[in-house]
Amino acid sequence: MTTRPLKDLADIVRSKNAGPYRITFDILFKDKDRYEAVRATGAISAESVARAYGIDVSQVSSFFEIDMANAIKITIRRPRAQGSSGDGDMYGCQHHVPLMLIAVPVG
Amino acid sequence: MAAITVLTPTGTLGYGFGDDALARGMSLGPAVIAVDAGSTDPGPHYLGSGKPLVSDVSIKRELTALIRAGRAAGIPVIVGSVGGAGSGVQVERTARLVREIAREQGLNFRLATIRSDIPIERAERAVAAGEIVDFEAGAPLTKELLDETVTLVAQMGHEPICAALDGGAEVIIAGRACDDSVIAAFPIWRGADPALAIHMGKILECGAFSAEPFAMDVMLGTVEEDSFLLEPGSTARRASVKSVAAHSLYERENPFKQSGPGHEIDLSGCSFEQVGERQVRVRGATLTETADYYVKLEGARLAGYRSIAIAGIRCPTTIRALDAILDDVRRKALDYFAPAPIAVAFHVYGGNGVMKELEPDTTPQREIGLVIEVTAADQELAHAACHQISGAMLHYHYPGIINTSGNLAFPYSPSDLDLGPVYEFSAYHLMKVDTPTELFPVRYEDL
């Protein structure tokens, strides 16, 4: 089976603070077909996201599939609070790459 | 109910908007101009220090345009979370700019300022009474944490802003406010469905970020009987079902439920409908009032003083040995300055500078940008420790070293830079109140 990275199948893959203690990821698809196709593979899940970031799945605080927006949304707990010593991303907006590279089976 | 149009000039006051977009937006007959000016997003510094997020120059320039437009049209101007964190000093700083604007522009109006500072004793009483619950901080709020807190604010809902409108305010400078409430207050005051008004506020508070192409620019929303209609001010942008639906996910965890002061909004039954090329109609939000009214507290405490050093590393042997070098110089610095506690962090750009332990990629790098960061009880100690570490790294000997004259390429002299006080969030909890307005006093001035 061949795979493609999520970034080739999604329109937008982004990360952002959701409050000072969490980072939320949005995956948005161009249309319902692409959204359904990726969703049907099960490649994007709380477990696969935890694996991509090397964290325990208990650190994934929520996972939503949002049909009305053709979107998948995952939120994780930050290893350290926004702005505390050692935090490297004040807005949490550069945390999307491991998610973007998750392999999704195609064809 | 007559349709009520809100004009939101930008996502954050001070981050700009198009003059043409504002002019076109005003020509559509809005009933109010409402804009958010802050967030926790830029970090705890603005709450802790009281310094403004955006310069006085930018705030004054944009407030001048908005107050002039508001006065010309005879409609109120509402600004929430002023100064970045909405603390008392930030409310006063913004109010001072408004007084200058009134004087310089020859404008007369009634200014209302609304404070959102929470006395520490008030929160301590709530802790003792068991009236505080954790929101997402992961730990309970304690008396000890509150004793260390230098600034404590609470997010107001729409009610204190409505009270200021009752008092005849024409310009409202509000402290920390729930973003949605700043936009929703006027429509609710005029009788709009709070569920629709708050959902509209949620989308409008980021200005034209819900339009395409997105930007910090003017966005308009019109609440009607059973729906609201969105449209960007600039004709170079459009609202599309996709841009609006995408925005409804932004910066929040749960796309279907959103809690605010005294309420919870359910968005699971929402629908988005394209109207013409540039407008989107939204329906379906429902609101439940919570049994008790809780406000969100935001507090910051002084974590210490910070010094940093910035350096490049080009030598492949140093880069290979870097993890061990960093561990060793950190350990030696902690020993050297003991028993005084110091916090040492390394940002290894080219390695895991952005994501730290979440970074899965271990590809070797050609060049590393290193930021050494030390936080200590006072600036002198932070500086001393930062220099001790940068000096130790500069002349560190490790097995296999090939260049013995120095490991760090400093772009600056001095190599060690003092960043001043550092704040951390100390409260991010919900506190029960008896009434929505009790913590948010309104003061009027006729200018």
The DSSP-derived string for B109-147 is -EEEEE--B--HHHHHHHHHTT-EEESSSSS---HHHHH
A–B CB contacts, 8 A cutoff, strictly below: 124
Mean local confidence (pLDDT), B13-35: 96
Q: State the Cα angle at A27 between A75 and B269, rounded to 5°.
A: 80
pLDDT at B357 over 80: yes
Q: What are phi and psi of B94, to 5 degrees?
A: -70, -40
Cα-based distances in Å from B288 to B262, B266, B268, B285? 9, 8, 13, 10
Q: CB-based contact (8 Å) between B44 and chain A?
A: yes
B65 touches A at CB < 8 Å? no
Q: At what angle do helices B56-73 and B19-27 cross, to 10 degrees?
A: 20
Determine the pLDDT at residue B40. Answer: 87
- Interchain CB distance below 8 Å, A98 and B272: no
Chain A environment of B272 (Cβ under 8 Å) = 68
Preceding omega of B261 cis (within 30 degrees of 0): no
Q: Tell me the pLDDT band of B251, cut-offs 50, 70 and 90.
A: confident
Best interface-test mutation with A: which of B253, B297, B375 has the largest number of A CBs within 10 A? B253
Instruction: Say what the pTM is.
Output: 0.91
Q: Which pLDDT value is given to residue B297?
A: 97
For B376-415, write each residue's pLDDT tens digit.
999 999 999 999 999 999 999 999 999 999 999 999 999 9
**CA closest to A83 among chain B residues:** B43
For residue B198, give the amino acid letter: I
Question: Which mean pLDDT values do the consecutive 10-residue runs of chain A (107 residues) have?
Answer: 94 92 94 94 97 97 92 95 90 96 92
CA distance B353 to chain A (A): 6
pLDDT value, residue B248: 79
Average pLDDT of span B219-236: 96
At B258-272, the pLDDT tens digits run 999 999 999 999 999
B chain contacts of residue A81, beta-carbon cutoff 8 Å? 137, 424-425
Mean per-residue pLDDT over chain B, rounded: 95
Minimum-distance CB partner of B43 among A22, A83, A88: A83
Residue B90 three-state SS: helix
Q: What is the rounded distance in angstroms from the CA atom of residue B187 to the CA atom of residue B175?
A: 20
Q: How many whole angstroms separate alpha carbon A46 and alpha carbon A64? A: 10
pLDDT value of residue B245: 84
Residue numbers in A near B250 (CB within 8 A): 16, 26
What value of ipTM does the predicted structure carry?
0.91
CB B300, CB B47: distance < 8 Å: yes
User: What's the rounded mean pLDDT across residues B34-42?
Assistant: 92
Interface probe, candidates B330, B358, B363, B419, chain A, greatest A C-beta count within 10 A:
B358
**Disruptive mutation site among A15, A65, A85 for chain B (greatest number of B CBs within 10 Å):** A85
The verdict on B347 touching A (C-beta cutoff 8 Å) is yes
The whole-angstrom separation of Cα B311 and Cα B406 is 11
Q: Is B310:B411 a contact under the CB 8 Å cutoff?
A: yes
Instruction: Please check whether residue B272 touches A, CB under 8 A.
Output: yes
**Is B340 near chain A, with CB under 8 Å?**
no
- A contacts of B422 (beta carbons < 8 Å): 85
CA distances from B363 to A97, B367, B400, B420 (A): 14, 12, 21, 35
Tell whether the model's pLDDT for residue B1 goes beyond 80: no
Residue B250 has pLDDT above 90, yes or no: no
Least confident stretch, B7-11, B176-180, B211-215, B378-382: B211-215
DSSP B255: S
Q: Residues 365 to 384 of B: which have CB under 8 A from any A CB?
A: 373, 375
Indicate yes or no: CB of B424 within 8 angstroms of CB of A81: yes
Determine, for residues A94 and B343 on separate chains, whether the beta-carbon distance falls below 8 Å: no
B440 pLDDT band (50/70/90 cuts)? very high
Quick check: B213 and B242 in contact, CB under 8 A? no
Q: Select the residue of A18, A55, A90 nearest B42 (Cβ to Cβ).
A: A90
For B203-221, what is the mean pLDDT?
93
What residues have CB less than 8 Å from A65, skipping those under 6 apart?
A39, A71, A72
Grade residue B252 by pLDDT with cuts at 50, 70 and 90: confident
pLDDT of res. B88: 97
Mean pLDDT across B72-96: 97
